[in-house]
Amino acid sequence: MEARAEDLLPVEYFHVVFTLPAEITRIAYWNQKAVYGLLFRASAQTVMTIAADPKRLGAKVGMTSVLHTWGSALTHHPHIHMIVPGGGLSHDGTRWVACRPGFFLHVRILARLFRRLFLEGLMDLHRAGQLTFFGDLNSLAQADTFAQWLAPFRKSD
């Protein structure tokens, strides 16, 4: 660990996790490239957008993200583990903006934006014909059925 210390910023780090509802993981299982790519993009954009907001942190942040596709119960459970330094560069790039000690960003605000970005991205993938459906999900190939199926997720935590 001491050998790696020179690679780390002398700041607090935060562990942020982005996950999907079980129903959507069924779609992810058959559309891994498209859905996992969306999961990476939506989670990174969420953290960067909220952190950049002057009412929140007001900084450009970076992160390291890792995709896990299985949960501890060895079931398909795609989720992103993200390590984020506790701050970032000011918008003009001249100074470090630190977050409050022990607190990075509001989880509910992150969740709300992530949910919107992910669901919009899923709709975009569907419109572009980049999702395939099998078995009892076959009817989701129809645009109106898919939109109706996704609607309840817009309100879920």
Q: What confidence tens digit (pLDDT) does each residue in 65-124 have? A: 999 988 677 778 899 999 999 999 999 999 999 999 999 999 999 999 999 999 999 999
Whether the CB-CB separation of 38 and 116 falls below 8 Å is answered with no
Q: Name the β-bridge partners of 15.
A: 83
CA distances, 135 to each of 30, 71, 74, 132, 149 (Å): 11, 24, 22, 11, 15
Q: What confidence tens digit (pLDDT) does each residue in 12-39 have? A: 999 999 999 889 999 999 999 999 999 9
pLDDT exceeds cutoff 60 at 1: no
Per-residue pLDDT, 4: 62
Per-residue pLDDT, 3: 57
Residue 67 CA to residue 69 CA, distance in Å, equals: 6
Strands (DSSP E) contained in the chain are: 13-19, 64-70, 76-85, 87-89, 96-98
